[in-house]
Amino acid sequence: MSKKRDYHLPSLKDAGRRSREEVSVETFSLSDEAKKLGEGKTYYIRTHGCQANQRDSETMAGILEAMSYRAAQKPEEADVILINTCAIRQNAEERVYGEIGALKRLKKEKKDLIIGVGGCMSQEEESVKTLVEKYPQVDIIFGTHNITSLPALLESVVKEKKRKVEVFSRQGEIYEEVPVTRFASHKAWVNVMYGCDKFCTYCIVPYTRGKERSRRKEDILLEVQDLLKEGYQEVCLLGQNVNAYGKDLKDPDGFGGLLEEVAKTGIPRIRFMTSHPWDFDDRMIEAMKKYDNLMPYIHLPLQSGDDEILRKMNRRYTSESYRELFDKLRRELPHYAFTTDIIVGFPNESEEAFQRTLDMVDHCRYDNAFTFIFSPRIGTPAARMEDSVPMSVKEDRLQILNEKIAFYAKEANKKFEGRDVDVLVDGLSKRNSSVYSGYTPENKLVNFKGKDIHIGDIVRVHIDEAMSFSLNGTAIEKDPLF
């Protein structure tokens, strides 16, 4: 006989439904009791996955701080540990399980420790079942639409000492005025839209993050203006598919219009992530030509260079239309850098199909690419497709592709040798603390020598040497008269 569940399982099927219902905009608020719950207590957040998760973790931190919790430096020192999870590929999930497993020991030593699991894995029914059944150390499971419920969830776990699961499988609303504690003081993520309606057949995101919904332009601009006042040098406008910005709001100016407005705020550096080749329009290109605080960098996911695979992926473009768009962007924006995402080993990918992906890489000569082996995600159409390609073949293809990508990355970086570039400084390099690191406008990582340099400075750097995935340089000393 099966045990009766005392919690609701999420449903990917429900989460994949779309209606024409309008998205509601809610305002966040906290009760007086919640504002004091964390007095004398600390929190630690571990983030997996993409920029949307990074930004969500900043919201979680903001909410916890509004509840009087303070940040701990290490998980061992924290009273509340939140793990913000990623479900994009199986190996991302495995890392999360490993990490939660390791927390069991901490929980034994510290009975009052509260462990919460949020993010995309919490939206999946199988993962929630596993977490509930095999990981008793987890006290709270909350979905991507339930971050604003953290105060109520924490309150009830503290009071009732019972596990809480709250995951909504609905399409999602928009919350404004939610507290945020940003993890950096010089560059910031700004959500412009949430969710995705593209339903690429391999991808779990439309299910875990709900319907495509845009924030109101005035809310976005207010956020950017505040960031500018606080001294931020860079904003990255975030969305699973930013080109679709404004469609749900019936905003005729779309993302191109938003880019212009954000550029006009005068914030020094603006980036955006991610563009789908679908509906990348001329208005966007016009804005990019006009404003030099729009950084010369576009991430344009290809996924595959083969028409049959693209069709099975439901990508809505052909290799020819991708190539046309790419050539146009190169022509109109010659100083731009381009990167991409590519999946190898999609079900039944033939040798010829893989070759067409390599041909496209030869054509586009990307500055860099993120490459992946297809990972079947339960609940997505591609996970149900027949696949006769052995894993060893997929691994070989990934290696061949990566070698090609590295070749073109180095070729693109070589063009920077001997040039002077502006680098927004992130701090000391993580790999070598005797040099600083930061990014050029084209999003090239630069490691450089220099003195009297601070996080958030924009420093002129002479590039001495190009590596495949970074540039080495030396800061140019400022003229003491200026």
Q: How far, in Å, CA of 125 to CA of 11, rounded?
A: 6
**Closer CB to ligand SF4, 45 or 196, in the complex:** 196
Q: Which does 343 bind (CB under 5 to 8 A by kind): ligand SF4, ligand 5AD, none?
A: ligand 5AD
169 binds, among ligand SF4, ligand 5AD, none (CB under 5 to 8 A by kind): none
- Look at residues 277, 273, 288, 368 and name the one whose alpha carbon lies nearest to residue 55: 273
Nearer to ligand 5AD, 202 or 448 (CB): 202
Q: In 28-111, which ranges are E strands?
A: 42-47, 70-71, 80-85
C-beta neighbour count of 475 within 10 angstroms: 21
- Return the number of the residue (176 or 281) whose C-beta is nearest ligand SF4: 281
Cα distances from 282 to residues 41, 236, 260, 300, 333, in angstroms, run 51, 21, 13, 15, 12
Q: How far is the CB of 388 from ligand 5AD (least distance, A)?
A: 17
> Which chain residues interact with ligand SF4 by CB under 6 A?
196, 198-200, 203, 205-206, 240-241, 276
Q: Which two tokens stand for residue 284?
A: 């966007």
List the one residue out of 413, 459, 412 whose CA is nearest residue 437.
459
- Work out how close the CB of 52 gets to ligand SF4 at its nearest, in angstroms, rounded to a whole number: 9
| In the complex, minimum distance from the CB of residue 341 to ligand 5AD, in angstroms, rounded to a whole number | 3
> Which one of ligand SF4, ligand 5AD, none is in contact with 405 (Cβ closer than 5 to 8 A by kind)?
none
Residue placing its CB nearer to ligand 5AD in the complex, 60 or 205:
205
- Selection from ligand 5AD, ligand SF4, none that 196 binds (CB < 5 to 8 A by kind) is ligand SF4
Residues making contact with ligand 5AD (CB under 6 A):
88-89, 202-203, 301, 303, 341, 343, 372, 374-375, 377
Select from ligand SF4, ligand 5AD, none the partner in contact with residue 84, using the beta carbon and a kind-dependent cut-off of 5 to 8 Å. Answer: none
Q: Choosing among ligand 5AD, ligand SF4, none, which partner's interface includes residue 127 (Cβ < 5 to 8 Å by kind)?
A: none
The distance from CA 245 to its chain's CA centroid, rounded to whole angstroms, is 17
**Cβ 395 to ligand 5AD shortest distance, Å:** 13
Q: How far apart are CA 342 and CA 301, in angstroms?
A: 7
CB 191 within 8 A of CB 238: yes
Query: Six-digit token pair at 481?
Result: 């008269």
Distance CA 298, CA 332 (A): 13
- The whole-angstrom separation of Cα 205 and Cα 208 is 5
The option from ligand 5AD, ligand SF4, none interacting with 89 (CB < 5 to 8 A, set by class) reads ligand 5AD
377 binds, among ligand SF4, ligand 5AD, none (CB under 5 to 8 A by kind): ligand 5AD
Q: Which is nearer to ligand SF4, 196 or 344 (CB)?
A: 196
Helix 351-364 and helix 391-414: axis angle, to 10°?
Answer: 10
> Which residue's CB is nearer to ligand SF4, number 41 or number 89?
89
Between 52 and 421, CB nearer to ligand SF4: 52
To the nearest whole angstrom, how small is the minimum distance from the Cβ of residue 400 to ligand 5AD? 17
Binding-site partner at residue 357 among ligand SF4, ligand 5AD, none, CB < 5 to 8 Å by type: none
User: Residue 28 or 199: which CB sits closer to ligand SF4?
Assistant: 199
Please calculate the CA angle 444-445-446 and round it to the nearest 5 degrees: 110
State in angstroms the smallest separation of the CB of 302 from ligand SF4.
Answer: 11
Tokens representing 411?
A: 């070729």
Cβ-closest position to ligand 5AD: 341
Q: How far is CA 219 from CA 55, 66, 210, 262, in A?
A: 16, 21, 20, 11
- In single-letter form, the type of residue at position 353 comes to A
Please name the helix (run of DSSP H) or strand (run of DSSP E) that holds residue 220, with its range, or none.
helix 217-229
Tokens coding 285: 């290109």
Give me the least distance between CB of 325 and ligand SF4, in Å please: 15
Distance CA 145, CA 169 (A): 8
Question: Least distance (Å) from ligand SF4 to the CB of residue 199?
Answer: 6
Residue closer to ligand SF4 (CB basis): 299 or 404: 299
